Amino acid sequence: MLQAQEQGKSPGQQTRTALIDVATEMFLADGFKAARVADIAQQAGVRLSAINYHFGNKEGLYLAVLQHHADLAWRTAPPPVFDPDTPLQQRLQALIAALVRRMLDPDSPSRIGRLMIREVVNPTAALDVMFERFTLPQVNLLLGLLREFFGPQVSRELLLRAALSIVGQAMVYVVARPIINRLQADFDLRGAALDQLAEHIATFSWAGLQALAAQQEGQDA
């Protein structure tokens, strides 16, 4: 039987959902190359031909999994909307809070953080698609805010370095989770802990940005 018997969905939609659910766990556990479509179909309770029918092939299924979780992440943690007079520091805090929730929230239905790390470590043809669909929009939002902070004269190199430094503070909690768990056995990101982490990253980042701005002013003097 299908694992995803959701009310209101046609049999075809249920099959597609079941395959994405099972494939998500297998791609996370084994990676794209090692995961076998025969095992995915068997665990989803459907025929192997259903993968070709709904997704074309294994690559199509993998891309559908990535797109599904990217869409979930955007829906559960959409970009913040600001009033025109919202201070820059508050906008940075809100942007970082949404980024952290998108990547790290253990209660989110999206697994995009872990999926993207696997994709970056062992890239496939899907990397370019996910860069355009998920990564680039977030980076562009951050770059726009940073350009406003530093001013129009700032170099793109400095902007990218600052943006990657901010994003990297969140990514380390995905990449290095086994190490973090050994450093802090009771480490958890549920509830208030996730908000506290986002606030820490925002505070740390704001101080770093101010230091960079002061350094730039000293060089220009």
pLDDT of 16 > 90? The answer is yes
- Asked whether the beta carbons of 25 and 108 are under 8 A apart, the reply is no
Mean pLDDT within 95-101:
95
Residue 62 CB coordination number (10 Å): 22
Using alpha carbons, list the distances in angstroms from residue 3 to 22, 23, 32, 104, 216: 8, 12, 21, 26, 57
pLDDT of 1 > 70? The answer is no
Mean pLDDT within 62-71:
95
Using alpha carbons, list the distances in angstroms from residue 202 to 70, 100, 116, 184: 23, 10, 22, 22
- Mean pLDDT computed over every residue of the chain: 92
Q: Angle formed by the axes of helices 88-104 and 192-220, to 10°?
A: 130
Please, what are the domains in the chain? 11-56 (1.10.10), 69-220 (1.10.357.10)
Least confident of 32-41, 140-149, 177-186, 212-221: 212-221
pLDDT band at 11 (very low <50, low <70, confident <90, very high): confident
Task: Tell me the two tokens of residue 47.
Answer: 């025929």
Q: What is the pLDDT of residues 161-178, one digit of tens each?
A: 999 999 999 999 998 989
Closest-CA residue to 19 (of 47, 76, 106): 47
What is the end-to-end Cα distance of the chain in Å, rounded? 71
Residue 212: the pLDDT is: 94
